[in-house]
Amino acid sequence: MIEGLKVVALGGGHGLYASLTALRSVTSELTAVVTVADDGGSSGRLRRELGVLPPGDLRMALAALCGDDDWGRTWSEVVQHRFRSEGDLHGHAVGNLLIVALWERLGDTVAGLDWVGRLLGAHGRVLPMSSVPLDIAAEVELDGEVSTVRGQVACALTPGRVQAISLVPEDPPACPEAVQAVLDADWVVFGPGSWFTSVLPHLKVPQLAEALHSTAARRLVALNLAPQPGETDGFSPQKHLEVLRQHAPSLEIDVVLADTGVAEDGEELAKAAAELGGRLVLAAVADQDGSPRHDAQRLASVLDEIFREKR
């Protein structure tokens, strides 16, 4: 544990869950800044019915920050629990309902998330990247023609190749606390996660993007272990970095972290990292069962060494 080291992790969904699970054992000063563009499942239903931010990715981040004691494990399982029924509650996650209830009770998105965090004993803070619900619009190329697909679910499932993304509305307000967290950070971590729908959207919120460019924090990109089906099919690790550069040409990255089993061409990947201003760190961070998931302990160990400048 590195006391006093302020780390901000950006993303959403399962990728951010993996990052936070590792990071909470590395630092006690951890903040998650989460995408708010989900329009499917329980989150999409609550968003459409109540006009709230989609709570699902925020819930997953809070669950990832729960401790390994009985309290933490129990609450992590409870907030992730989904009802199974023939009625209207089917598919809703307990944590989604809890978060939205606190938002309605308190009238304050950040305060509601902080209350849930205290209840769960979360080892860190969870913030939305924007204070309003967002939609992702993707430019998709299929058979030589480019069209626009709107919605996170549609973008993730599109049969074509995503070229670029934008947000609707185009100039959404950033969460002020998220902006301040980035400005105060020692390290900012991008990824792993769905590249176009979880990682890159942060760079499309103007105030947040400005903070990510101007912060004195060092920036680390944790690359995925496999392409995202329907989103980054056929992408090499260096292609992910090229897309990042296209969306934020002036953003400098200090470290690119990739699993040794994924980086087939280390020289080309190192070159792509250098074009972003950074260096490549190759390490075994994948789960040993062969699945495309990060091993929390391995990832935590490598991140600890990078933050301590030992790697």
What are the start-end ranges of the H helices in the chain? 13-23, 41-50, 56-64, 70-80, 94-106, 109-120, 152-157, 176-184, 206-214, 237-247, 266-275, 296-307
Which of 115, 150, 165 is at the close of a domain? 165
Query: Total domain count for the chain?
Result: 3
Verify that 148 and 62 share a domain, yes or no: no
Q: Convert the pLDDT of each residue in 223-275 to its tens digit.
A: 998 877 767 777 888 989 999 998 899 999 999 999 998 877 788 899 999 99
Which residue in the block uniquely carries the two structure tokens 């990109």? 221
Residue 142's DSSP bridge partners are 145
CA–CA dist 257, 16 (Å, integer) = 15
Token output for 181: 């967290």
Query: How does pLDDT run across 41-80, given as a tens digit for each residue?
Result: 888 899 999 999 999 999 999 999 999 999 999 999 999 9
For β-strands 125-128 and 2-11, DSSP reports them as unpaired
Nearest CA to 172 out of 212, 214, 136, 125 is that of 136
Query: Do residues 201 and 37 touch, judged by C-beta distance below 8 A?
Result: yes
Quick one: pLDDT at residue 5? 97
Q: Dihedral sign, CA of 286, 288, 292, 297?
A: negative
Is residue 177 located within the same domain as residue 271? yes
Q: Give the C-alpha separation, 176 to 130, whole Å.
A: 8
Same domain, 92 and 144: no
pLDDT, residue 164, reads 85
Note whether 48 and 176 are same-domain residues.
no
CA 230 from centre of chain: 18
- In this structure, the answer to whether residues 275 and 254 fall within a common structural domain is yes
**How many Å apart are CA 229 and CA 95, to the nearest integer?**
27
Q: Domain check: are 261 and 153 in the same one?
A: no
Q: Based on the domain organization, do 53 and 139 belong to the same domain? A: no
What are 73-110's pLDDT values in tens digits?
Answer: 999 999 999 989 888 878 889 999 999 999 999 999 99
287 and 182, same domain (yes or no): yes
Q: With b meaning 16 or more CB within 10 Å and e meaning fewer, what string describes 171-206?
A: ebebbebbbebbeebbbbbbbbbbbbbbbbbbbbbe
Same domain? 178 vs 59: no
Of 172, 173, 150, 187, nearest in space to 30 by CA: 187
DSSP 200: G
Encode pLDDT of 167-202 as tens digits.
Answer: 999 899 999 999 999 999 999 999 898 888 899 999
What CATH number is attached to the domain comprising 214?
A: 3.40.50.10680
297 and 178, same structural domain?
A: yes
Averaged confidence pLDDT in the chain: 92
* 218 and 93 co-located in one domain: no
Looking at the structure, do residues 208 and 186 belong to the same domain, yes or no?
A: yes
What is the domain range of residue 301? Answer: 1-34+171-310
Boundary-marking domain end, from 143, 165, 187: 165
